[in-house]
Structure 1
Amino acid sequence: MDIKIPAATAEPDVPLAQQLFAQLRSDNEALHGAAHGITRDTYGAGEQRAHELMASTARRLGLEVSTDAALNLYLTLPGRDRAAPALMTGSHLDSVPRGGNYDGAAGVVAGLSILAGWIAAGMQPQCDVTVMGVRAEESAWFPLSYIGSKSAFGLLGADALEILRLDTRRSLRQHLAECGGHPAGIADGQAHLKAERIAGFLELHIEQGPVLVEAGEQVGIVTGICGSLRYRHAQVLGNYAHSGATPRSHRHDAVAALAEVIARLQQDWAQMEAQGHELTLTFGQVYTDAQQADISKVSGQVSFGVDVRSRSVDSLQRMERHLLDAVAAAEQKHGVRFALGERTGSQPAHMDAALQDELQAAAERLRLAHRRLPSGAGHDAALFANQGIPTAMLFIRNGNGSHNPDEAMALDDFAAGTRALAQVMAARAGLAPKD
C-alpha cells in the first residue's frame, strides 16, 4: 500500500492513520494469513515489519528516525530549541499471538498522525516531539515485562538477555542480534533515554476492558497503572496412583491440592475487595502432563501460572501472603509439594495529575463522553512514570476486549481521542507556525 502524506491541515491526519492500520493488517496477513488474528511477534518478523512501516512513513514525512540498542524506534519532529527536554508519545508495536490490530499500534499511529498534521500545516513545536515505537512490551513472548522501555533507560540488565522466547526456546540475545540490535549495549546498561531530558510522556491506547463501551463513553483518562506479581511456571508435585485402588487417606493428589488453593484465594479476593482493596487474581494456566495424566490416575503433577494485579503495593503483598498461606495448608493436608518458581512482576504507577486535568479539559472542549479510570493492564507508561517523568495515558473505547482477534476500535473514536491528545501535546510543546 502507498502511504499518502497529508494535505495541509492542523488536525491529526486520520486518513494517514487509517492507511497505516490497513497496512499493518495486510502485512500480518502476508506473514500469517487472515484467519487467526494479529501476531506481531517480539523480535521476530511481525514486530520487525511494523517498525519498518512506521520508520518508512516517518522518513517520508521528513522526521528524524533513529533506534537504540534494543531497536526501540524514535521518530522526531525537531523543535526550535533542541536543547530543551523533549515531549514524547507512542506505545508498542508487538502483539500477543493471535491478538488484535490496535493493541499498542494505535498509540504509535496516533503520534505519527499528529505530527503529520503539524508538518503539513507548517507548524513547529518549541521542543523536540518524539513518537516512540517501543519494542517487546508483551510478555507473551519473553517472560519479562517492559523489555524495550527498560532497555531504553539502561535498566534491563545482562541476565535478561539470556531468557528464552517461549515459542522458539532461543534467547533474547539471539533474537535481538538477528534483528540488528546490540545486546552488548544493553548488557553494559547504556541508556538512550534520561529522565531529565524528557518533558513528558503521553500514551494513547485502546481500553482492554469493557468499561468505556458499557458506559457509552469514547475516551478514558487513566489515573494509574496496576503493578503485578506473577508466578509463571509453578508446579504442584504429588504421587501418581491408581484412581480406583487408592483411598482418599492415601492420596497425594496434585490437582486436588491446587483446586483448594484456587478456591481459597477466590474467597480471599472477595474479602479483600469488601475491605476496599482493588485487585485482580487470575490462574491463567492450569495443566497436567499429557504424557502422564489419565482419567484412571490420581494426579502426581500439575503446572499452573498465577497473576495478581493492583495499583497498591500493599494489596499485592497481602494477596501474596494469602497465596503462601494457602499453599502451606494444601501441602500439609494433601502431602504434596508446591514449587512456585521465580517470582516476577512490575511496580504500580501513578499518572501525572496535571496531565490528567489537561486531557479531561481537552475531552470537554471536544464534547467527548469521558471518565477517569485505572488501568488493570500494564503499559510502558508505567516505567516512564516510575522514572519521575510526568506521564499520562488516554484510553480509546474498544469493543470485544483485547488480546484477541476481535478488537473493535472505531476509527471515529480513535480520531476523537487523537484530537484530544494533540491538543494537550500542542500546548505542552509550544506549537506555533514555523518561522
Structure 2
Amino acid sequence: MKHNRTEGKIESASDLAAKMFDDIYQLSQDKAGVSRPAFSAMESETLDYLAAQARAEGLCVSEDAGKNLWFCVPEHIDTPTYTVIGSHVDSVPMGGNYDGLAGVIAGLMVLIEARRGHRHLNKAVKVLAMRGEESAWFGACYLGSKMLTGSLPESEFNAAHKGDGRALHSHLTELGIDTAPIGAQKPIYDLSRIDAYLELHIEQGPLLVERNLPAAVVTGIRGNFRYRDIHCIGQAGHSGAVPRAYRHDPVLAFAELMHRLDSTWQHLLNTGKDLVLTSGVVGTDPNSHAISRIPDEISFSLDVRSQDADTLEQMRDYLKDEMNDIARSRGVTFDAGAQVSVAPALMDATVVKDLAQVMDQVTGEAFKMASGGGHDAAVFAQAGVPSGMIFVRNRNGSHNPDEAMDIADFMVGVDILSTYMETAS
C-alpha cells in the first residue's frame, strides 16, 4: 500500500494521489484491508479528509441533502449545468482501498490539475463523493445514488444493518439526514442540472491484466437475475446398493444442469452475445451427507448476468425448460424459490464513443468492455442521465485486501477524464 514519493511538498499529481490513497488507507485500516461502513462515522471521516485536501488545493466543497460531498473549481460553483465525475467512498468489510475511492480521487485530480493551471476544463465539472454503494452493510447496493435519484425502494429504506440490526432510515437520521423525501421516493438532488455522469473504477476481473492494457471504456453494466437458494430434491439411498436406473440423484441432476448451462453460455458467446453465469454456493446437507450415501437434496445459488435484456430473458426461459427436462429424466424436483433481478444499464452511446476517441488519443488503443459488477453509474443511467465509465487495470480482483492498482495506470484514467473534459462541447 506504500508508494514512493518525495518528502515535503507534494508537487506532482501522481504523488498527491498516492498520498491521498495512503492516508485514507491508514485512516480506515482494519485487521485486513480497510473497512469503511456505509453511513458510518468512518465513512464521514473519509469524507472530511477529502474535503480538507480539496480546500487545501483551492477547491470549493459543499454537502447535499444525503450528506454526500460535491467539489468544484471556484469558477464553476454557481454554474447551472455540469458534468459529474463521481463514485463512492464506502468499502466492504476488510476490503481493498481502491474500489470506489479511486473514482472520487480521480475526479479530484481532474479538478486539482485544472486549478493548478495544468489542464483546461472546456465544460463545468463537479465531483461527487457518495456514501453507501456497497451491499455488504444493509443487504442492498447503490443506496446513496438511489437516494439522490429518488429510486430507493421502501424495502431498502427499512433494510436492517448487518451489525446492529437498525434500519437504514435510523442510520440516516443519526447522520442528520432528512428521511421524509427519501422515504417518499423523491429525488434529493436536481438531476436536470447534470448533463452527464462519469465514473472511474478499478476493473474487478482479469481482462485488462491479461491484455496488458492500463484502462478501458465501459460499454454497459450487466443486469442479472439471481436465485439465492435453489433446492434440487431427490431420494436418499445406499451408494453401493442402488443401481443407476433406480437412482434419483440430485447431485447428478445439478451437475447436468450446470453442464447444459455452460454449453449454452459458450454457444451464446460464439454468436456474439454477452453472458456470464456463476453458481457460487453449492452443498449437500452437512447434517446428513456421507461418502456412502446418495444425498436426498442439494442446494445451490445461480447468478446470470448480461448487458442485453433479451439475452437475460432467453436464459430465464432456458433455465426453466432445462430444470423441467432434467427433473423428468432423473426423477427429481427443482424448487428455485424467489428470483431477484436487476435490469442492465447501457452507457450512453455518444459518451462511450467520445471516451473511446479520447482513450485512443491518450493510450494509442481504444479498448471497450462490459462491466460485470454493478456501479452507481447504472443508477444514474436508469434515471435518464447520460453516463459513462472508465475501468483502470487492477490485479487480484476487488472486495478483498489484495486489490493492486498501480498509480501509473490510475493516472492514465485521470488523463482520459481530463482530456475528455478538455474536448467536451
Q: Offset at 1:113?
A: 1.8
After superposition, what is the alpha-carbon deviation per residue over 1:132-191, rounded to whole angstroms, capped at 9, x for unaligned? 223332334444342221221001122222334456655433444455544443211131
Which residue, out of 56, 59, 64, partners 2:61?
Answer: 64
* Percent identity of paired positions between Structure 1 and Structure 2: 37
Q: Which runs of 5+ in 1 are unaligned?
A: 431-435
Contact 1:368 1:416 in 2 (8 A): no
SS of the residue 2:418 aligns to: helix
Aligned pairs (5 A) from 1:203-352: 203-238=199-234, 253-352=249-348
SS of the residue 1:389 aligns to: coil
Contact 1:68 1:192 in 2 (8 A): yes
After the TM superposition, which of the residue ranges 92-101 and 82-91 deviates more from structure 2? Answer: 92-101
In structure 1, what is the equivalent of residue 154 of structure 2? 158
Letter aligned with residue 27 of structure 2: D
In structure 1, what is the equivalent of residue 395 of structure 2? 399
- CA 1:187/1:131 → structure 2, altered by over 3 Å: closer, same or farther? same
SS of the residue 1:378 aligns to: coil
1:242 and 1:258 map into 2 onto residues whose CA distance is: 19
1:118 and 1:7 map into 2 onto residues whose CA distance is: 19
Which residue, out of 86, 90, 107, partners 1:111?
Answer: 107
Does residue 14 in structure 1 map to residue 14 in structure 2?
yes
In structure 2, what is the equivalent of residue 28 of structure 1? 28
Contact 1:222 1:395 in 2 (8 A): yes
- CA 1:194/1:26 → structure 2, altered by over 3 Å: closer, same or farther? same
Letter aligned with residue 65 of structure 2: D
Q: TM-score, normalised by structure 2?
A: 0.85
Letter aligned with residue 286 of structure 1: V
In structure 2, what is the equivalent of residue 199 of structure 1? 195
After superposition, what is the alpha-carbon deviation per residue over 1:220-256, rounded to whole angstroms, capped at 9, x for unaligned? 1222222222222433445666656766667654434
- CA 1:65/1:82 → structure 2, altered by over 3 Å: closer, same or farther? closer
Which residue, out of 376, 381, 394, partners 2:377?
Answer: 381
Letter aligned with residue 65 of structure 1: S
1:52 and 1:232 map into 2 onto residues whose CA distance is: 38
Does residue 53 in structure 1 map to residue 44 in structure 2?
no
Q: Offset at 1:307?
A: 1.2
Letter aligned with residue 90 of structure 2: D
Contact 1:157 1:186 in 2 (8 A): no
1:80 and 1:403 map into 2 onto residues whose CA distance is: 35
The number of aligned residues is 419
After superposition, what is the alpha-carbon deviation per residue over 1:271-299, rounded to whole angstroms, capped at 9, x for unaligned? 22233321101112223444444445443
SS of the residue 1:408 aligns to: coil
Contact 1:145 1:346 in 2 (8 A): no
1:366 and 1:126 map into 2 onto residues whose CA distance is: 17
Contact 2:83 2:197 in 1 (8 A): yes
Q: Offset at 1:210?
A: 2.4
- CA 1:259/1:184 → structure 2, altered by over 3 Å: closer, same or farther? farther
2:48 and 2:303 map into 1 onto residues whose CA distance is: 33
Contact 1:59 1:65 in 2 (8 A): no
SS of the residue 1:366 aligns to: helix
2:74 and 2:258 map into 1 onto residues whose CA distance is: 53
1:27 and 1:412 map into 2 onto residues whose CA distance is: 23
1:81 and 1:189 map into 2 onto residues whose CA distance is: 27
- CA 1:177/1:195 → structure 2, altered by over 3 Å: closer, same or farther? closer
Q: TM-score, normalised by structure 1?
A: 0.83
- CA 1:80/1:48 → structure 2, altered by over 3 Å: closer, same or farther? closer
- CA 1:124/1:189 → structure 2, altered by over 3 Å: closer, same or farther? farther
1:116 and 1:308 map into 2 onto residues whose CA distance is: 41
After the TM superposition, which of the residue ranges 124-133 and 85-94 deviates more from structure 2? Answer: 124-133
- CA 1:56/1:256 → structure 2, altered by over 3 Å: closer, same or farther? farther
After superposition, what is the alpha-carbon deviation per residue over 1:303-347, rounded to whole angstroms, capped at 9, x for unaligned? 322111111111111111121122223444455443333322322
2:288 and 2:198 map into 1 onto residues whose CA distance is: 50
